[in-house]
Amino acid sequence: MANNKRVSLNLNVRGIGKSPTLAINELSKQLEHEGRHIYRMGLGQSPFPVPLPVVETLRNHAHEKDYLNVNGLENLREAVAHFHHTKDNVDIQARNVLIGPGSKELMFLLQLVYYGEIILPTPCWVSYAPQAKIIGRNIKYIHTSYENNWDLTPDQLEAFLDTEHDQYKPRVLVLNYPSNPCGISHSVHDLKAIANIARKYEMIVLSDEIYGQLHFKGQHVSIARYYPEGTIISSGLSKWCGAGGWRLGTFAFPDAFDWLMEPMAAVASETYTSVSAPIQYAAVTAFMGGIVIERYLWHVRRILSHLGTSCTEILRQAGLRVKMPDGAFYLFLDFSPCSEKLRQKGVTDSTTLCEKLLEQAGVAILPGVAFLRPPAELTARLAYVNFDGSQALAKSETIPLNGAIPTDMHESCCDPVFNAVNKIAEWVND
Ligand SMILES: Cc1ncc(COP(=O)(O)O)c(C=O)c1O
C-alpha cells in the first residue's frame, strides 16, 4: 500500500521536501529541547508590528463577510495603482491590478498560466524554483558572483541569451531587489540595460519588489520605469507592512496584459475564490499610505539600515566576505576566505557549514545551497530580524529624525542580533 501511494504521486512533486529551511528548523528545535539557547536567524519575517492605522481598519472591517471580486476589492486595486504611481513613479491602471493571498500564490498562478521558461539569477529566494518544478516549467539559472555584488549584470544576461538556441521563446526573467537573500538592489544603470535586453528578446520581467519599501534610503527604483510594457510588479503587505501572516499580495500588470491576468484570475476563481475581505479593506489603508505610515517606514528603515551596516562590519572584521546591503533584512555571507579554518572543522559545503554553526555556536542560518548556489560554495543567508520590533520602533521614535542610532540601541533592543553575529565571528576564528 505504501508503495502504491508513492507511485500515484504526481511526478513533479516526487522528492519535493517541505522547504530547505526544514532541516535547520528541526535541528534548532531538537537543540532547544535539549536546553540550548538558539539564535534563530533563518526565518525571513518582519519583526515590526503592523502600522496602527492598518490594524484599526482591519478591526473596523472585521464584520465584512462576503466573497469579494476574484481580482480584488476595487478600492484596493485603486490604492495599489496609486502606491506604484506615488512610490515608483510607474503608471499602473487599477484594472491591471490583481490581488492574491500572498505574492507567492500569484507567482505560482503566473507560472501555471504562462507557458514559458523561467530565468533565475542566483542566489535567489527559495520558492521560485520549486514552484516551477511543481508546475513542470523549465528553469535556467544564471549564477551571479560576489564580485558583481550578487547582481545579474546586463552582460551576463546577453551572454546567456546568445548561447540559447531559440532566443525568442517565451520566457520570464525573475528579478528581486532589494533581494532575498542578499539585501542588494540593482543600479539604475543596470536596470535600464536589462530593460533594453528584455525588450529586445520580448521577455516578461517578473519584478519581485516585495522589499522595495525597505530600501534603506527610500530610493527603490522599479524596472517598470524603463520597461513598462513588459514588467509585472509583484508586491504585498508581508515585508514593509509587517503583515506576512495576513496573506495579501499584489501583481501590477502592464496595459494590454489581460490575456495573462484574466486566465490567472480564472484559475484563482476555481481555487481560492478571493482574498479575505477584512484583510483587503485593511490593505487599502496600507497602500494609500499617509503620514503615520511614512513615519513608521522611516523608523523601520533607519533601524534595519543600522543593523545591516553594523552586522556587515562585524562579519567583515571576522574575515567573511559580505556586501553592504541596500535594503530588506538579509545578509548573504561568503565564508570562502575562511575555508581552511572551516576545513579543519570538517566543513566543505554550505549545508555542513550551517549544521556545525548551529550545533557548535547555537546560531541558525540557512545554507547557500537553499538559494540555488553550488553545494560546495561556503555561503549562507542570515536574517537579522530576531529582535523585538515594537521595542526598537519605540526607541527609534525617541531619537531625533536627523540623528544616528546610538550604540546603546544594541543592548536595549537588538541584543540577540549582535550576540548571534558575534558568535558567528568567534566560531569561524575559533
Ligand atoms: C523575495 C520574496 N518574494 C516573495 C515572497 C512571498 O511573500 P508573500 O507571499 O508573503 O507576499 C517572499 C517571502 O519571504 C520573498 O522573500
Q: What is the pLDDT of residues 370-396, one digit of tens each?
A: 999 999 999 999 999 999 999 999 999
- Same domain, yes or no, for 124 and 220? yes
The string of pLDDT tens digits covering residues 38-86 is: 999 988 899 999 999 999 999 999 999 999 999 999 999 999 999 999 9
Residue 259's beta-bridge partner residues? none
Band (pLDDT 50/70/90 cuts) for residue 257 is very high
- Same domain, yes or no, for 219 and 336? no
- 2 inside domain: no
- 237 inside domain: yes
Q: Which atom of ligand 1 is nearest to the CA of 236?
A: 11
- Same domain, yes or no, for 275 and 302? no
Band (pLDDT 50/70/90 cuts) for residue 1 is low
- Same domain, yes or no, for 273 and 355? no
- Same domain, yes or no, for 366 and 262? no
pLDDT (0 to 100) of residue 399? 86
- 3 inside domain: no
User: 235, 256, 289 — which closes off a domain?
Assistant: 289
Atom 14, ligand 1: residue with shortest CA distance: 44
Q: Which atom of ligand 1 is nearest to the CA of 124?
A: 1
- Substitution candidate for ligand 1 out of 50, 99, 118, 125 with most atoms within 8 A of CB: 125
- Same domain, yes or no, for 301 and 218? no
- Same domain, yes or no, for 284 and 297? no
Atom 6, ligand 1: residue with shortest CA distance: 104
- Substitution candidate for ligand 1 out of 107, 108, 111, 238 with most atoms within 8 A of CB: 238
User: 289, 308, 326 — which closes off a domain?
Assistant: 289
Task: Identify the CA nearest to 44 among candidates 381, 368, 308, 357.
Answer: 381
Residue 333's beta-bridge partner residues? 380
Band (pLDDT 50/70/90 cuts) for residue 350 is very high
- For 125, phi then psi, to 5°, come to -55, 145
- Same domain, yes or no, for 367 and 240? no
User: Ligand 1 center to residue 151 CA distance, Å?
Assistant: 19
- Same domain, yes or no, for 109 and 256? yes
The string of pLDDT tens digits covering residues 270-317 is: 999 999 999 999 999 999 999 999 999 999 999 999 999 999 999 999
Atom 16, ligand 1: residue with shortest CA distance: 180
Q: Where in the sequence is the domain holding 120, given as residue range(s)? A: 52-289
For range 245-269, the mean pLDDT: 97
Domain with 38 in it: what CATH number? 3.90.1150.10
Distance set, CA 369 to CA 172, 334, 375 (Å): 22, 12, 5
- Check pLDDT > 70 for residue 410: no
For range 319-326, the mean pLDDT: 98
Task: Look up residue 259 and give its three cell numbers.
Answer: 490575456
- 109 inside domain: yes
- Check pLDDT > 80 for residue 140: yes
Q: Which atom of ligand 1 is nearest to the CA of 101?
A: 9
Number of domains composing the chain? 2
- Substitution candidate for ligand 1 out of 19, 103, 247 with most atoms within 8 A of CB: 103
Q: Give the single-character DSSP code of 70.
A: T
- Same domain, yes or no, for 285 and 322? no
- Could you tell me whether strands 117-122 and 330-334 are parallel, antiparallel, or unpaired per DSSP bridges? unpaired
User: Ligand 1 center to residue 348 CA distance, Å?
Assistant: 30
- Same domain, yes or no, for 252 and 357? no
- Check pLDDT > 60 for residue 2: no
For range 193-209, the mean pLDDT: 97
Averaged pLDDT of the chain: 94
User: Ligand 1 center to residue 210 CA distance, Å?
Assistant: 6
Task: Identify the CA nearest to 70 among candidates 339, 320, 280, 311.
Answer: 280
pLDDT (0 to 100) of residue 317? 97
Task: Identify the CA nearest to 330 among candidates 182, 133, 129, 213.
Answer: 182
DSSP assignment string, 33-48: HTT---EE-------S
For range 144-154, the mean pLDDT: 97
DSSP assignment string, 71-140: T--HHHHHHHHHHHHHHH-----GGGEEEESSHHHHHHHHHHHS-SEEEEEES--TTHHHHHHHHT--EE
The widest CA-to-CA distance across the chain, in whole angstroms, is 67
User: Ligand 1 center to residue 86 CA distance, Å?
Assistant: 22
Domain with 239 in it: what CATH number? 3.40.640.10
pLDDT (0 to 100) of residue 166? 86
- Same domain, yes or no, for 244 and 332? no
- Substitution candidate for ligand 1 out of 210, 232, 366, 372 with most atoms within 8 A of CB: 210
* Residues with a CB atom less than 6 Å from ligand 1: 44, 102-104, 125, 176, 180, 208, 210, 236, 238, 244, 249
Which three-class secondary structure state does DSSP give residue 32? helix
Contact 79, 287 (CB under 8 A): yes
User: Ligand 1 center to residue 418 CA distance, Å?
Assistant: 25
